[in-house]
């Protein structure tokens, strides 16, 4: 589910937009001031920020100064605005719409941007995950073979070893292992991990199958001190320092 933050001082419009966006795929929330919006941006993780150019306590552009690359921004512009498309792109704005507008058209714009992000995640790595913690760069994707303690993982050639012994892994087990190792040291949240596995495998995977696959992977690799279940959140390959 994509979390959408709406920064809109017009309460009536904010309520209308929340109703339009609220469905099985989106979870919208709204703030009526820049101050409140900034607080929400700092304490929650959002897929998209929908921000009005003119807020009661300042310009919506103020909110864009400290945003990271992982949040999409769509701007609601005043009818008499001086801003243009080129200027908005310099602020990192992905798309915009001018008042007055049809909320359904805006929802379509939001859907397009969220879909673009999901497609980019299929070819990305840890940056696209809804995750907790900090990954260890030396174990990120890129190297052909990864060495961890007594493990040797050659993901390109699909060869996996523990104490120099070959380990046979199924396709789903290989995919899961790669995601865990690429993101060593961070907790991969269950729902996002499911979405990523389904996208890469092209098949339905539920939480029970994921849990079973994790357990099989732990047993095959003897990875009891490395692969951890963070109950209620997700799974991780720990940042345990090798002895």
pLDDT tens sequence across 136-146: 444 433 446 78
Range of the domain at 97: 2-122
H helices of the chain, in order, are 11-21, 34-43, 85-90, 103-122, 171-182, 190-201, 207-221
pLDDT at 128: 53
Tell me 40's DSSP state: H
- Give Cβ neighbours of residue 238 (< 8 Å, ≥ 6 apart): 184, 185, 225, 226, 227, 228
Same-domain check for residues 47 and 131: no
pLDDT tens sequence across 212-225: 999 999 999 999 98
Q: For 175, list phi and psi in degrees, rounded to 5.
A: -65, -45
H helices of 80-124, in order, are 85-90, 103-122
CB 124 within 8 A of CB 116: no
Mean pLDDT along residues 84-111:
88
pLDDT at 144: 63
Final residue in a domain of this structure, among 94, 122, 150: 122
CATH number at residue 230: 1.10.10.10
pLDDT at 38 over 50: yes
Residue 188 lies in a domain: yes
pLDDT tens sequence across 182-195: 888 788 888 888 88
Structure tokens at 103: 């909320």
Same-domain check for residues 140 and 111: no
pLDDT at 41: 85
Buried b (16+ CB within 10 A) or exposed e, 177-199: bbbbbbbbbbbbbbeebbbbbee
3 state DSSP class of 44: coil
CATH number at residue 7: 3.40.50.2300
CB 49 within 8 A of CB 71: yes
pLDDT at 135: 43
Q: For 23, list phi and psi in degrees, rounded to 5.
A: -155, -170
pLDDT at 209 over 90: yes
pLDDT at 136: 44
The pTM (predicted TM-score) of the whole model is 0.53
What is the chain's mean pLDDT, rounded? 83
Same-domain check for residues 212 and 139: yes
In angstroms, the CA 214 to CA 202 distance is: 19
CB 95 within 8 A of CB 113: yes
Same-domain check for residues 8 and 117: yes
Mean pLDDT along residues 117-141:
51
Residue 243 lies in a domain: no
Residue 151 lies in a domain: yes
3 state DSSP class of 60: helix
Final residue in a domain of this structure, among 104, 122, 140: 122
pLDDT at 186: 80
> How does residue 243 score in pLDDT terms, banded at 50, 70 and 90?
very low
């Amino acid at each position: 589910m994509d979390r959408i933050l709406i920064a809109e001082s017009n309460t009536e419009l904010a309520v209308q937009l929340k109703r339009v966006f609220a469905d099985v795929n989106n979870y919208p929330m709204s703030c009526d001031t820049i101050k409140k919006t900034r607080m929400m941006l700092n304490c929650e993780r959002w897929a998209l920020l929908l921000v009005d150019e003119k807020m009661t306590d300042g310009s919506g552009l103020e909110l864009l100064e400290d945003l990271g690359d992982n949040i999409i921004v769509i701007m609601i512009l005043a009818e008499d605005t001086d801003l243009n498309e080129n200027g908005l792109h310099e602020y990192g704005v992905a798309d915009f719409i001018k008042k007055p507008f049809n909320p359904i058209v805006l929802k379509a714009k939001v859907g397009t941007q969220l879909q673009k992000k999901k497609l980019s995640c299929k070819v990305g790595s840890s940056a696209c995950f809804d995750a907790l913690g900090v990954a260890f760069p030396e174990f990120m994707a890129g190297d052909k073979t990864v060495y961890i303690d007594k493990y040797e993982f050659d993901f390109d050639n699909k060869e996996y070893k523990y104490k120099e012994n070959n380990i046979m892994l199924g396709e789903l087990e290989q995919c899961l292992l790669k995601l865990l190792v690429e993101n060593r040291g961070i907790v991969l949240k269950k729902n996002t991990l499911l979405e990523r596995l389904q996208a890469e495998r092209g098949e339905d995977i539920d939480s029970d199958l994921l849990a079973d696959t994790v357990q099989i992977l732990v047993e095959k690799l003897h990875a009891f001190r490395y692969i951890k279940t963070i109950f209620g959140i997700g799974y991780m390959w720990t940042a345990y320092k090798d002895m």
